[in-house]
Amino acid sequence: MLEELKKAVLEANLALSRAGLAPGTWGNVSGIDRGRGLFAIKPSGVPYAALTVDSMVLVDLAGKAVEGRFKPSSDTSTHLEIYCEFSEVGGVTHTHSTVATAFAQAEQPIPCLGTTHADHFDGQVPVTRRLTPAEVAKDYERETGKVIVEAFLEYGIDHARMPAVLVAGHGPFTWGRDAMEAVANAIALEEVARMARDTILLRRAFAQPVAPLPSHLLRKHFDRKHGPGAYYGQGQSWDGR
């Protein structure tokens, strides 16, 4: 089972690279086996082209690497904090994708301006506060995870309905039921960030105010894919052909 987990996490990391969201080594994906209390994560600083199943590092829920010849990602403690606090999460992705990172650097949430955004995220994507000098000096990566959790508690956001966040001055984190879904959410996040930026620029060019998507459309589009009565897609009976 752990070999399957490492393989899934490798495939998710390669998918992240193919999507163009992780130039160089700017990104990482992990996936967790909660029954065994272990998660697999990309090794720190290793190019995507060089990754293999054996490159993946297994880490326990105390943050200790227990298998693998490489050091785990420098963001491991952030992933760990998300896993510990968001119990349904099965995979975590971190990128420095261009437009979502620009929103994070501007310390601005990504507003929900259209139905494409609403198909993936239940409202505007939140941005955290900046970490304090004391937090950075104490345990930077773990404190990054803590400030993510803090933002969701402060704003009363359900992490299952908002599988993304912008860390102020840093970049986006996304999550999902497994590693590949976390990557899919990272791809969606970058696209809706691009759409939001372009919409804001166009409306300003035409001297029009920027208005969020009406709540009834937001509810309809999010819930038809993710709500209890979801009807988007082919359901469990579809075999993919």
pLDDT tens, position by position, 14-52: 999 999 999 999 999 999 999 999 999 999 999 999 999
Q: Which of 54, 155, 198, 232 is catalytic?
A: 232
Residue 12: count other Cβ atoms within 10 Å of its Cβ: 27
| 35-39 contact pairs (CB < 8 A, 24+) | 36/1, 36/2, 37/61, 38/2, 38/5, 38/66, 39/5, 39/79, 39/80, 39/83
Catalytic entry in 119, 139, 140, 223: 119
Give φ, ψ of 175 to 5 degrees: -150, 170
Whether 34 maps to a domain, the answer reads yes
Whichever domain contains 11, its CATH number is: 3.40.225.10
236 within a domain of the structure (yes/no): no
User: How many folded domains does the chain comprise?
Assistant: 1
Q: Is the pTM of this model over 0.85?
A: yes
By residue range, what is the domain housing residue 142? 2-226
Does residue 232 have an active-site annotation?
yes
pLDDT in tens, 164-187: 999 999 999 999 999 999 999 999
Which residue has 């160089």 as its token pair? 24
